Amino acid sequence: MAKQEDLFKNVISHAKEYGYIFASSEIYDGLSAVYDYGQNGAELKKNIREYWWKSMVQLHQNIVGIDASILMHPKTWKASGHVDAFNDPLIDNKDSKKRYRADVLVEDYAEKLLQKAQKEIDKAKKRFGDAFNEEEFVSTNDRVIRYLSQRKEILERLGRSLTNEDLVDVKALIEELEIADPDTGSKNWTDVRQFNLMFGTKMGASADTSSDLYLRPETAQGIFVNFSNVQKTGRMKIPFGIAQTGKAFRNEIVARQFIFRMREFEQMEMQFFVRPGEELKWYEHWKETRLKWHYSLNLGEENYRFHDHDKLAHYANAAADIEFNFPFGFKELEGIHSRTDFDLKAHEEHSGKKLRFFDPELNENYVPYVVETSIGLDRMFLAVLSSSLKDETLEDGSSRTVLKLPAILAPTKAAILPLVKKDGLPELAQEIIDELKWNFKVQYDEKDAIGRRYRRQDAAGTPLCITVDHDSLQDKSVTVRYRDTMIQKRVLISELASIIDAEVNFKKWMGNS
Ligand code: ATP
């Protein structure tokens, strides 16, 4: 555990040191759970967004993209259910003054029971060796049975209380289980109350005429309200999708995991409209397609797993998360939801406008069903950054820190390095940059010895270093050094564009998945 915490701390400090992520308004001591992307972070984020957009919109003839506004008519959020149901149950500890999500406190307690059961299983496994029958042990060992049934009971009771909005019982559960403040051990709790996660704001100049609005808590609703606009003007036929990337805002109760849980974040969402009855087939299709997208980036297939939801949201008839192995364990990275016709129907009711599709093959008018893929751009950023950061020991015993970002996502594709700052080498390096910059983000670096410059570019995640030396002036060749293998090759300057392209080509990355 300590090791994992260290790794996470390393990621956070590396992100700052190399211009990826800063605390928001840091000179004023920052703003809780709000972050700014620096010069490298903005590039990496843009490249992830583009990789998603191209694979969704450019590669699919039946998916188009939009860019809806953050502010929407307030009835949108009544129709979507967010005004009434976008709540988390919160509880305060009266002694420590710390605030927690009541459901998470109970879930963490239940998780500990699972860990205790697992410990018993592991112990027995060791004792019995090859003869160990896990299934039999789990169904007969008193302790394991007790831990697991207690866990099941607790989670079922929590689920029931939350569904019935019985917050008194959630508090009773916390007291019965004697759950203490994880930081201080105090059991002196307030009552549990619902907390709506939407940020409110006002539109208009005068206090009397201004209206109450919300900053959108998800981008999806901007797609639903534009369903007919896009379908008609784009002459889209079902099945078809609408994609969008953009900011969303949630006033999260507990936001302590760097850019994993932010109050202002960005989503990349796609709503796929299908015939009623075909939604589960498309749900399976998009689960598989999205997982392939993740695999294409080579962050390690073992770092992903599906988690099917037991408790479905009010709008869904199937839902799964793609979880990623973050430095603090497997957590949700992307959600794939079969949202039925809930949203379009609700908007029909609240707006009085028809949101339907005339299906010429069926000769029928219907409200389409929806399968959604929804991924947090910032969480994807954290997944990429944390799994790419490596400390390596080299053959000569020295060590290096290297950020093995997928080349297609790297902020800078190549650094152009004149061996010395004189003899015409900087000028030739500049000529190379002037040629390459039209197609690739490249960077000039002449400070320090060449070895240190390589290390700096390794740590910043630059896949290629191109060194210009005295021979380059005569033979029109340079040395290319590859970040991951550290292999060096002598190549003609005229070949550089195609060498970089081979590393960052979209078809090479996405086409192989
Ligand atoms: P969680 O259970 O972690 O709160 P969620 O189930 O509420 O997430 P969704 O409403 O399904 O999340 O949102 C879709 C995606 O948006 C998530 O998979 C996640 O990647 C991203 N996301 C949601 N909330 C946040 C947040 N506060 N900060 C960063 N990304 C977020």
Average pLDDT over residues 211-228: 95
pLDDT at 293: 98
Examine the domain organization and report whether 74 and 100 are in the same domain: no
Average pLDDT over residues 169-182: 96
Instruction: Give the whole-angstrom CA distance, residue 376 versus residue 323.
Output: 12
Please determine, for residue 85, whether its predicted confidence score (pLDDT) is greater than 90: no
Examine the domain organization and report whether 98 and 210 are in the same domain: no
User: Does residue 265 have its Cβ closer than 6 Å to ligand 1?
Assistant: yes
Give the strand order in the sheet containing 442-444. 442-444, 414-418, 464-468, 477-482, 488-492
Please determine, for residue 211, whether its predicted confidence score (pLDDT) is greater than 80: no
Average pLDDT over residues 227-244: 97
Encoded tokens for 348:
């029909």
Examine the domain organization and report whether 423 and 483 are in the same domain: yes
Average pLDDT over residues 279-292: 97
Average pLDDT over residues 65-74: 96
Closest Cα to atom 24 of ligand 1: 261
Q: Which residue's structure tokens are 């972050």?
A: 35
Domain-embedded: residue 400:
no
Å from CA of 282 to ligand 1 middle: 22
Q: Which residue's structure tokens are 């973050």?
A: 326
pLDDT at 69: 97
Please determine, for residue 513, whether its predicted confidence score (pLDDT) is greater than 70: no
User: Does residue 290 have its Cβ closer than 6 Å to ligand 1?
Assistant: no
For residue 56, say whether it is annotated as part of any ligand binding site.
Answer: no
Domain-embedded: residue 404:
no
Instruction: Give the whole-angstrom CA distance, residue 78 versus residue 115.
Output: 41
Q: Which of 259, 374, 381, 384 to mutate to test the pocket of ligand 1 (most atoms within 8 A of CB)?
A: 374
Peptide bond into 406 cis (omega under 30): no
User: Does residue 269 have its Cβ closer than 6 Å to ligand 1?
Assistant: no
Domain-embedded: residue 401:
no
Domain-embedded: residue 398:
no
> Which ligand 1 atom minimizes the distance to the CA of 262?
28
Encoded tokens for 418:
């004149």
User: Does residue 338 have its Cβ closer than 6 Å to ligand 1?
Assistant: no
User: Does residue 337 have its Cβ closer than 6 Å to ligand 1?
Assistant: no
Average pLDDT over residues 197-211: 80
Lowest mean pLDDT among 30-34, 403-407, 483-487: 30-34
Domain-embedded: residue 377:
yes
Query: Are 382 and 353 in contact, with CB atoms under 8 Å apart?
Result: no
**Of the residues 195, 230, 251, the one at which a domain ends:** 195
User: Does residue 425 have its Cβ closer than 6 Å to ligand 1?
Assistant: no
User: Does residue 373 have its Cβ closer than 6 Å to ligand 1?
Assistant: no
User: Does residue 246 have its Cβ closer than 6 Å to ligand 1?
Assistant: no
Domain-embedded: residue 334:
yes
pLDDT at 219: 97
Kindly indicate the confidence band of residue 206, based on its pLDDT and cuts at 50, 70 and 90.
low
- Alpha carbon of residue 360 to chain centroid: 38
For residue 10, say whether it is annotated as part of any ligand binding site.
Answer: no
Query: Are 43 and 412 in contact, with CB atoms under 8 Å apart?
Result: yes
Kindly indicate the confidence band of residue 3, based on its pLDDT and cuts at 50, 70 and 90.
confident
Instruction: Give the whole-angstrom CA distance, residue 505 versus residue 498.
Output: 10
Examine the domain organization and report whether 340 and 276 are in the same domain: yes
Domain-embedded: residue 39:
yes
Å from CA of 122 to ligand 1 middle: 33
Instruction: Give the whole-angstrom CA distance, residue 117 versus residue 152.
Output: 12
pLDDT in tens, 4-63: 778 899 999 999 999 999 999 999 999 988 999 999 999 999 999 999 999 999 999 999
Instruction: Give the whole-angstrom CA distance, residue 321 versus residue 306.
Output: 6
pLDDT at 209: 64
Instruction: Give the whole-angstrom CA distance, residue 95 versus residue 506.
Output: 55
Encoded tokens for 436:
């390459």
Instruction: Give the whole-angstrom CA distance, residue 223 versus residue 220.
Output: 5
Average pLDDT over residues 259-263: 94
Q: Which residue's structure tokens are 């109450």?
A: 212
pTM for the complete prediction? 0.89
> Which ligand 1 atom minimizes the distance to the CA of 331?
3
Strand partners, 22: 36
Examine the domain organization and report whether 44 and 65 are in the same domain: yes
Q: Where are the alpha helices (DSSP H) in 20-101?
A: 39-53, 75-79, 82-85
Examine the domain organization and report whether 309 and 213 are in the same domain: yes
Burial of 156 (0-12, 13-18, 19+ CB in 10 A): exposed
Closest Cα to atom 3 of ligand 1: 332
Instruction: Give the whole-angstrom CA distance, residue 47 versus residue 60.
Output: 19
> What CATH number corresponds to the domain at position 355?
3.30.930.10
Examine the domain organization and report whether 303 and 452 are in the same domain: no
> What CATH number corresponds to the domain at position 495?
3.40.50.800
Examine the domain organization and report whether 181 and 206 are in the same domain: no
Examine the domain organization and report whether 147 and 207 are in the same domain: no
User: Does residue 266 have its Cβ closer than 6 Å to ligand 1?
Assistant: no
Please determine, for residue 141, whether its predicted confidence score (pLDDT) is greater than 50: yes
Please determine, for residue 140, whether its predicted confidence score (pLDDT) is greater than 50: yes
Average pLDDT over residues 460-482: 97
> Which ligand 1 atom minimizes the distance to the CA of 255?
27
Examine the domain organization and report whether 110 and 208 are in the same domain: no
Mean pLDDT of the chain: 94
Instruction: Give the whole-angstrom CA distance, residue 399 versus residue 511.
Output: 35
For residue 375, say whether it is annotated as part of any ligand binding site.
Answer: yes
For residue 134, say whether it is annotated as part of any ligand binding site.
Answer: no
What are phi and psi for residue 321, nearest 5 degrees? -105, 145
For residue 343, say whether it is annotated as part of any ligand binding site.
Answer: no
User: Does residue 258 have its Cβ closer than 6 Å to ligand 1?
Assistant: no
Find, among 65, 67, 68, 23, the residue nearest to 41 by Cα. Answer: 23
Instruction: Give the whole-angstrom CA distance, residue 463 versus residue 216.
Output: 37
User: Does residue 278 have its Cβ closer than 6 Å to ligand 1?
Assistant: no
In sign, the C-alpha dihedral spanning 392, 394, 397, 402 is negative
Closest Cα to atom 26 of ligand 1: 261
**Of the residues 195, 214, 244, the one at which a domain ends:** 195
Examine the domain organization and report whether 246 and 277 are in the same domain: yes
Closest Cα to atom 30 of ligand 1: 376
- Alpha carbon of residue 444 to chain centroid: 32
Find, among 386, 396, 402, 398, the residue nearest to 485 by Cα. Answer: 402
Residue 481 structural domain: 412-511
**Of the residues 195, 211, 226, the one at which a domain ends:** 195
Please determine, for residue 1, whether its predicted confidence score (pLDDT) is greater than 50: no
Strand partners, 335: 321, 374
> Count of domains in the chain?
3
Q: Which residue's structure tokens are 């707006």?
A: 351
Examine the domain organization and report whether 356 and 208 are in the same domain: yes
Å from CA of 45 to ligand 1 middle: 17
